[in-house]
Amino acid sequence: MVNFVDEQLYEAVEEEAQMLVEWAEAEGLGALAARLRALEENSPDSPTSYLLLDPDGRVLAGELASIHPREGWFEFAEPDDYDHDPMLGLGTPIAGGSFLVVAQASEDQRELREAVIWAFAWATGVSLALAVLGGLATSAAFLRRLEGFNRTAARIVDGRLGERVPTRGTDDEFDRLATNLNAMLDRIQALMESMRQVSSDVAHDLKTPLAHLR
C-alpha cells in the first residue's frame, strides 16, 4: 500500500514536470515562468512547488529559491520550513540550458508509512501475545488430561481395579485413548475375576480329598 502511494506521488510529479517542459519548448521560457507564477498565486495551498532557473542560474519563477537543485529525483526540506516537512523533487533540464524543479510534499506518504509500520508492530505484538496465551491454555488442558490418566493408573496400581479413565464425550484423541484403556481394564478385571473364581473352585474341590487324607 505504501509503495502504491509512493508510485502515485512519483508519477504525479513526473507528469507535471514533463507537461511543463513541453510547455516551455512550445511557448517559450517566459511563458513558462508566467504560468508558474500564476499557479503559485492561484493555488497558494497547493502541495506542489516549482523552481525555474535561466541558463545563468537566476531564478525566473518559483518559491524554492533556497534549495540546491540537481537533476533527477532528490528529497529535501525547505530551510525556512519550521516543521521541516519532507518534499520530493524532480530536476529536469530544459532545452537552451534552463532548469526546472517540480516538487511535492511527501509528508502524507511518510505518515502513512509510519502508520502502517505501527499497525504491523501492534498486530505482531497482539498476535504473539495471543499465540503465547493460546499455547499456555492448550498446554494446560493437555497436562490436565494426562494428569487424569496418571491418577487413574496410580489407583489401579494400588489395587483398585474398578477405577476407569474419565472421558468427556468429545470423541477426541484423548477420549478414544481413554475408551481403549477402559476396555482393556474391563478385560483385565474380568480375567482377574475368572482367576479368583477358578482359585475358589479349586480350593473348594480340594477340601474333601484333603479331609480324607487327614
Alpha carbon distances (Å) from 165 to 80, 140, 155, 158, 159 = 80, 18, 10, 15, 15
- Note the pTM of the prediction, 2 decimals: 0.50
- For the chain, 214 residues long, the average pLDDT of each consecutive 10-residue run is 81 90 84 86 79 85 77 76 71 86 79 84 94 92 84 82 80 84 86 84 80 83
User: Which residues, at least 6 apart from 152, have a Cβ–Cβ distance to it below 8 Å?
Assistant: 163, 164, 165, 166
Q: State the Cα–Cα distance between residues 194 and 200, nearest whole angstrom.
A: 10
Coil/strand/helix, residue 28 = coil
The pLDDT of residue 180: 87
- Are the C-beta atoms of residues 165 and 180 closer than 8 Å to each other? no
Q: State the Cα–Cα distance between residues 201 and 153, nearest whole angstrom.
A: 31
> Could you tell me the residue ranges of all domains in the chain?
2-105, 164-214
pLDDT in tens, 84-143: 577 888 898 887 788 899 988 777 777 777 888 889 899 999 999 999 999 999 898 888
Coil/strand/helix, residue 166 = coil
Residue with cell 489395587: 159
Q: State the Cα–Cα distance between residues 106 and 113, nearest whole angstrom.
A: 11
- Are the C-beta atoms of residues 162 and 189 closer than 8 Å to each other? yes
Does domain 2-105 fall into CATH 3.30.9?
Answer: no
Alpha carbon distances (Å) from 203 to 115, 197, 208 = 88, 10, 10
Q: State the Cα–Cα distance between residues 6 and 113, nearest whole angstrom.
A: 10
- Are the C-beta atoms of residues 92 and 71 closer than 8 Å to each other? yes
